Amino acid sequence: MGHSRPVDQAGLRRGNLALLVHTLRERGALSRAQLAVRSGLSKATVSSLVTDLELRGLVHSAGVSAGGQGRPGQLVDLRPTSVCGIGLDIHVGHVGVVVTDLAGELIHTRRVACDVPGIGPERAIDQLAELAVTALREVAGTVGPPVGVTVSVPGLVDTAAGTVTLAPRLRWRDVAIADGLAARTGLPLDRIAVDNDANLGAMAELAAMNTGSVPVSDLVYLTGDFGIGGGVISGGRLVRGSIGFAGEIGHMAMDPLGPYCSCGRRGCWETQVGLGALLHACADTDDPVRDPTLDLDQRMRIVRARAARDDQRTLDALHQIGSALGVGVSILVNLLNPAVVVLGGYFAALPEWLVEPIRNQVVAGVLAPGAGGAKVVGSRLGFTAATTGGALAALRRVLDDPTVVPPMAQQDEEAPA
C-alpha cells in the first residue's frame, strides 16, 4: 500500500499550518482564540502558526470581532491576493484560462476559439502558453505570483509524467504538455500539472458544493458534449484508478442493439446521451442547432429557447435524453452512493428539463431507499468547471503545504515575481 510517508516534525508543522488555512477557507475570518477552538490546537500554537502565515503573506489582520464581553479578538483572514492559481483548458474547439486567487475567487478568465485537432499539439501548446503568459501579465498588478498551473485535457492523462496518453477527440497521443509548457513559459516543471477534464470539473464542483454548511465528500460529476466523461470523488478524494483511467463512463455498454459508437462498439452510453443524440432527436439535419460551425453556447441557447416555449419535439428529446441519462446515473448511484450527482458540460445548460427525468429514473432504479440520499443537480460552473478545477488544483499545493510560499523579509504587500 502507499503507506510510505515518514513523518518528522517539520511535516507536523506543515500539517498544522495547512489546517489553519483550511479552517479559514471554510469559516472565513476568525480570531486566534476561535481558530484555536475550531482547529483543536492550543492558543499558543495558533499564535505561533498565525505569525508564520503572516510572514508568508498568506493571512492578514481583518479588524476586530464584535459583540460579547471581554477583550475583542483580532480577526485573522486569508489574504486572497497573496498568490494565484492558473487553470488551462484544451478542448476540441477552444483553449481557455482561469486565474483564481487563494480564496478560489475567479479573477481572470478568457476563452479563445481554436481548432485544436487541426493545428496539432505543438501549436496548441503555443496557444496555451500565450494564454498563460498574457493572463499572468494582466493580473500581475492585483495578485501575487502563481503557485502552479494545471492543464485540463479531455482524454487519458499520465498525471505523474504530465503527458496526454490518448485524447481521441483532439487526435493526440503521447503529448508531453507539461514539458512543452515549461519550455515556453519558463515556469518550473514541477509546478505544471496535467489532468483529465472530468476529474478537474469534479474537484471544482466539490469545492463549490462545500461552501455551504453541509459538507459533501462523495460526488459524481458528468461532463460532455459529443462524448461523455465522468469524475468520481469518494471520501473527498478523486477516484483515479490504477493507471489513471477511471471515469471513462461514456462507453458503458447500455444497449447491445444500440447504434454504433465512434469507438467501434454498439450502444455506448454516449450514443444515447451525448450531444449528438440530443441534436438528432430534437432537430432535422438542416436545423441551425445542428450547424457544426455554430458555437456550442449558441446552440444550447436555441434549444433552451425552444424548450422554454414548450416546443414539443424539443421537450420530447430532452425527456428522452434525461431518461437515458437516468438509467446510467442509476448505475453510478447504486455503485458509488454519492451525495450529489452534478451535471456538467452541455447538460449544465439544460437542468430544468433534464434533472426531473433523471431523478425519476434514479429513484426507481436505485436499491437504497430515496436513492441513498443522492441529489441530482445542474453544475454551477458550467463550461468553466474544468478550468476552475485546474486553478484550484494548482492552489492545492499551497493549501496542503503553506510552506511552499517563502516567508518575506518585511511585510511587503506583494511578493517578487
Binding of residue 257 to a copy of itself (CB under 8 A): no
Q: 51 vs 211, which CB is nearer to DNA? A: 51
User: What angle do the packed helices 312-336 and 296-308 form, to 10 degrees?
Assistant: 110
* Per-residue exposure over 116-130, b if at least 16 CB sit within 10 Å of its own CB, e if not: beeeebeebbebbbe
Binding of residue 245 to a copy of itself (CB under 8 A): yes
Footprint (CB under 8 A) of a copy of itself, residues 22-81: 22, 26, 39-41
Q: 259 touches which of a copy of itself, DNA, none (CB within 5 to 8 A by kind)?
A: none
Binding of residue 103 to a copy of itself (CB under 8 A): no
Binding of residue 10 to DNA (CB under 7 A): yes
Amino acid letter, residue 107: I
Instruction: Find the part of the chain contacting a copy of itself (CB under 8 A) among 15-23, 81-89, 299-307, 352-360.
Output: 15-23
Phi and psi, residue 157, nearest 5°: -130, 140
- Please say whether the beta carbons of 30 and 78 come within 8 A: no
- Using the rule CB under 8 A, which residue among 44, 140, 183, 253 binds a copy of itself? 253
Q: 101 touches which of a copy of itself, DNA, none (CB within 5 to 8 A by kind)?
A: none
String of DSSP letters for 170-238 = TTEEEE-HHHHHHHHH---GGGEEEEEHHHHHHHHHHHHHTTSSS----EEEEEESSSEEEEEEETTEE
Instruction: Find the part of the chain contacting a copy of itself (CB under 8 A) among 6-14, 81-89, 138-146, 184-192.
Output: 6-14
> Pick from 223, 227, 153, 232: which is nearest to 194 by CA?
153
> Pick from 137, 151, 163, 180: which is nearest to 86 by CA?
151
Burial (CB count <10 Å: 0-12, 13-18, 19+), residue 180: buried
Q: 266 pairs with which residues across the strands?
A: 260
List % helix, strand, coil for the chain (3-state, nearest 5).
45, 20, 35
Q: 34 vs 234, which CB is nearer to a copy of itself? A: 234
Binding of residue 391 to a copy of itself (CB under 8 A): no
Applying CB under 7 A, what is the total number of residues that bind DNA?
32
413: three-class secondary structure by DSSP: coil
Q: 160 touches which of a copy of itself, DNA, none (CB within 5 to 8 A by kind)?
A: none
Q: 252 touches which of a copy of itself, DNA, none (CB within 5 to 8 A by kind)?
A: a copy of itself
Shortest reach from residue 40's CB to DNA, in Å = 7
- Using the rule CB under 7 A, which residue among 21, 24, 49, 135 binds DNA? 49
Shortest reach from residue 18's CB to DNA, in Å = 10
Binding of residue 344 to DNA (CB under 7 A): no
- What character string, x for contact with DNA (CB under 7 A) and - otherwise, covers 52-91? ------------x---xxxxxxxx----------------
User: What angle do the packed helices 351-365 and 312-336 form, to 10 degrees?
Assistant: 40
How far, in Å, CA of 271 to CA of 250, rounded?
8
- Using the rule CB under 8 A, which residue among 161, 339, 408, 415 binds a copy of itself? 339
How far, in Å, CA of 327 to CA of 358, rounded?
8
How far, in Å, CA of 168 to CA of 262, rounded?
10
- Using the rule CB under 7 A, which residue among 7, 214, 257, 417 binds DNA? 7
Binding site for a copy of itself (CB under 8 A): 1-9, 11-12, 15-16, 18-19, 22, 26, 39-41, 156, 166, 210, 215-218, 230, 232, 234-237, 239-253, 256, 263, 265, 327, 330-332, 334-339, 364-369, 372-374
Binding site for DNA (CB under 7 A): 6-10, 12-13, 16, 31-34, 40-45, 47-51, 64, 68-75
